[in-house]
Amino acid sequence: MKLNFKNTIKILFFSIAVFSQIKCSSSNDAVDPVVNPPVVNPPVVVTNDVDFWLTKGDQSVLLAKQTGTLGFGTVVNTYTNIEVNASQKYQTVDGFGYTLTGGSADVINQLTAAKKSALLQELFGSGANSIGVSYLRISIGASDLNAAPFTYDDLAAGEIDLTLAKFSLNKDKAGVIALLKEILAINPKILILATPWSAPLWMKDKDSFIGGKLQTQYYDVYAKYFVKYIQQMKAEGITIDAITPQNEPLHDGNNPSMYMSAAEQANFIKNNLGPAFKAANLSVKIIAYDHNCDNPNYPKAILADADAFPFVDGSAFHLYAGDISALTNVYNSYPTKNVYFTEQWTSSAGDFAGDLKWHVRNVIVGSMRNYSKNALEWNLANDGSFQPHTNGGCSMCKGALTVTSTENFQRNVAYYIIAHASKFVPAGSIRIASTSSGSLQNVAFITPSGSKVLVVVNDSSGSEIFNIKFNDKWITTSLEAGSVGTYTWK
């Protein structure tokens, strides 16, 4: 029994020794266990898809491109959506701009050559610092924002000029005409609408620039007055795209002004102005009315006249009374005829924040959502005293620019109202569908190059966070109360 126990012990020790040698020798060839590093997701890179330009009502930001990143995505949130649909198209846009009054030309022409050149490039050019104004309205003869009233055929009391032998553009040649030539050198495609404030006094039933009517016996010669104006402007290198027969035909208290009822305007268009344009082979558009939104029945009465209808391209509106929806009222009644928005002033007593919000909501968003082909603010420029203007003309009309010296000017609220559209929405753009709800009033466009543009004004008293949704993706952005944003993307 002892022998067997000893043998067992020996075998056990031998086995341990062998095992130890094997373990020690094999340890030299051992492979360290693989330790995987912790998984770290790569950083999410958000590319900027949308450019955003901002103006705030407190003027702390003025048409400034924002530096934040707005990338389209699909992360769900509960904010309001403004959904843009490029497949649903409406009217083609002719442009955005101002009235180049005689007074505007006078003060701009007072700038030094270098300063004026820089300003005109900023207003009408296509560079990075330009706002791309694409439409101008001018007066045939004087408006109330000229230093004094005049027409192109002023005669001594008792004289008449049935052949228009004394017709002359001379009173505008150094002012509006000279400045238009400089503008056209920058943008030859700018569209120009011309409108008279008064016929020559010898044609009226009242020997005054203020009020009175066009006498029926002078309808024909007055139509030829328009033809001669268009032809002589063409000879100066200036193409008139459209005319209206009378500025604010129901407002006869301005200086100058002239009353013209809807029936009178229909008669003048169908019997005189339209046939005169046709005989002279003029393709210039005739746009009716050119007055407030409170009387859509005026242009509708003209369009209801079967003989006037073929000569009329559409009707034009201002918004000193009524509601901007009047444009849709007229458009729906005569959908083959265009509507235009041709004037809205900003007052010297106005508030920047209030004017910015009201005008973008009504003049830019409102007119465009109601089928207008253009949107124009009133006078482009005046001086620090809101001059020049006629005796009895508008003494509180504040230009988009105030020219303060030969070297300086300031940009006013109307500059930014128009710039938020004109800089991004060139002529030939098309309005497209965008949802509008609550306080975020907006309008969308697709440009000839395919860019999408959305102009939004926050009409509420507080900040708003919202989404801009396009093709089932969206970006999230915000606007403070009263702020205006223009968003652009490809």
* Coil, helix or strand at residue 357: helix
Does 480 participate in catalysis according to the annotation? no
* Amino acid 437: pLDDT: 77
* Amino acid 34: pLDDT: 57
Beta bridge partners of 466: 80, 477
- Which residue in 247, 196, 249 sits closest to 225, CA to CA? 196
393-396-397-400 Cα dihedral, nearest 10 degrees: 150
The yes-or-no verdict on residue 67 having pLDDT over 60 is yes
- The DSSP call for residue 393 is S
In whole angstroms, what is the distance from residue 303 CA to residue 395 CA?
35
| Residue 96 near residue 422 (C-beta atoms within 8 A) | yes
The yes-or-no verdict on residue 11 having pLDDT over 50 is no
In whole angstroms, what is the distance from residue 171 CA to residue 174 CA?
7
* Span 113-131, average pLDDT: 98
pLDDT digits (tens, 9 = 90+) for 68-88: 999 999 999 999 999 999 999
Does 343 participate in catalysis according to the annotation? yes
| Residue 390 near residue 255 (C-beta atoms within 8 A) | yes
- 40 or 75, which is more confident: 75
* Amino acid 46: pLDDT: 75
Q: How far is CA 477 from CA 409, 465, 467, in A?
A: 33, 6, 6
* Span 36-60, average pLDDT: 81
pLDDT digits (tens, 9 = 90+) for 453-475: 999 999 999 999 999 999 999 99
In whole angstroms, what is the distance from residue 358 CA to residue 482 CA?
9
Which listed residue (83, 122, 182, 248) is catalytic?
Answer: 248
pLDDT digits (tens, 9 = 90+) for 330-385: 999 999 999 999 999 999 999 999 999 999 999 999 999 999 999 999 999 999 99
168-181-141-221 Cα dihedral, nearest 10 degrees: 50
Which listed residue (122, 343, 377, 464) is catalytic?
Answer: 343
